[in-house]
Amino acid sequence: NAGVMQNPRHLVRRRGQEARLRCSPMKGHSHVYWYRQLPEEGLKFMVYLQKENIIDESGMPKERFSAEFPKEGPSILRIQQVVRGDSAAYFCASSPSRGRGGYEQYFGPGTRLTVT
């Protein structure tokens, strides 16, 4: 029973390049969340998606960041024209539902993005 998978685990990009982070949710989960974490800080919500729909993107920066969760394939978090301030760990989580008590999320191992 595979857990949430993220790749790559580590990604190095030069300023101005694009970063693509991938997330495959747990089998049977249709809800995906993306978070950003800086060292010794908690997780900051970025976006919540269901298949083919963005449900809540209130935590996404207005520019350069986008996310998708297509009908087939993994969810993608895309960062265009990266800057040094984008360096962080990006975590994906999935859940089967959002009913009462159903906010439990299962996290992947994260992608550590370093912008040089």
Partner 1 sequence: TQLLEQSPQFLSIQEGENLTVYCNSSSVFSSLQWYRQEPGEGPVLLVTVVTGGEVKKLKRLTFQFGDARKDSSLHITAAQPGDTGLYLCAGGSTFGDGTTLTVKP
Q: Which residues bind partner 1 (CB under 8 A)?
A: 4, 33, 35, 40-45, 48, 56, 91, 93, 98, 100-101, 103-110
Considering beta carbons, is residue 40 or 72 the nearer one to partner 1? Answer: 40
Indicate the residue type of 93: A
d(CA 42, CA 62): 21
CB of 83 to partner 1, least distance (A): 24
86: three-class secondary structure by DSSP: helix
CB of 68 to partner 1, least distance (A): 18
d(CA 69, CA 81): 21
